[in-house]
Amino acid sequence: MNRLEQRRILVTGAGSGIGQATVLRLLSEGAAVVGADVNAEGLALTRKHAAEAGADTRLTTLEMNIGHEAEVIAGVKSAVETLGGLDGLVNAAGILRAAHTHETSLDLWNQIININLTGTFLVTREALPALLANPSSNVVNFSSTSANFAHPYMAAYSASKGGIQSFTHTLALEYGKRGLRAVSVAPGGIKSGITDATPGYLPQDSDWSFLGRLIAIVPQDNPAELASPENVAGVIAMLISDDGRFISGTEIRIDGAAHT
């Protein structure tokens, strides 16, 4: 299926997890992609997987830290020049840290907000002129089920993801008449670099009964495992394609009914 043939897409967080799976899915549907990440080793693995699928000629990788404004300005400019324009943006980059709220330092709060919320803003801001040069374009931002449902020990992370949802709503209204669609995806219970690292960030006295509320209801191949990143990548491909042409200004929750 080549729904995305001739589409030019920038994906952040492309070196692991859902971002990596998204890059590979978009390539499989014919898109030309710039995959950006702060992790050079992760980007090399993404390129390796793309080469194995015979799609690496349409992939360019880019080291970029979305928490640094100068890097974002230079990186997005490079991506637009490489692709010859921009039709879509997927802001998948982000971090998760966990702590009791009363033990969360200002530095930790600011780190999470800076990467997740401000980083999403910076990349979008720099990409908007190229996106709006087209009669139709789209932005897919990464929220989380934590934006709407209580996730313990993740106050800063949840706040950043709620901010992303509000930011996405504004984009959809402000630029909708110029052909831009903006949507958030809200994954939960998906295996990624973030979820792999989460147990190491949780407080030692965490109440695991709280976290049991986050388990998917929809059966998985292995009930003990989280769902694969490809479950989210397929939704993103739909949103980027014309199949998602009437979806904008909203969130799509992808959590196997865990929060129903």
Please give the Cα distance from 41 to 232 (Å, whole number): 23
Nearest to 140 by CA among 168, 161, 175: 168
Rounded Cα–Cα distance for residues 147 and 256 (Å): 16
3-state secondary structure (DSSP) of residue 191? coil
Q: What is the DSSP string of 142-188?
A: E--GGGTS--TT-HHHHHHHHHHHHHHHHHHHHHGGGTEEEEEEEE-
Query: For 217, which DSSP code?
Result: S
Phi, psi of 225 (to 5 degrees): -100, 155
Instruction: Give CA separation, 154 vs 51, 145, 191, 216, in Å.
Output: 37, 12, 17, 19
Q: Which of 153, 157, 175, 201 is catalytic?
A: 157
Q: Is 157 a catalytic residue?
A: yes
* Residue 164 half-sphere exposure toward CB, CA atoms < 13 A: 38
Residue 54, Ramachandran bin (φ over 0: left; ψ between -120 and 50: alpha; else beta): left
Tell me the angle at which helices 230-240 and 17-28 cross, rounded to the nearest 10 degrees: 50
**Pairing mode of beta strands 32-37, 180-187:** unpaired
Residues with catalytic function = 157
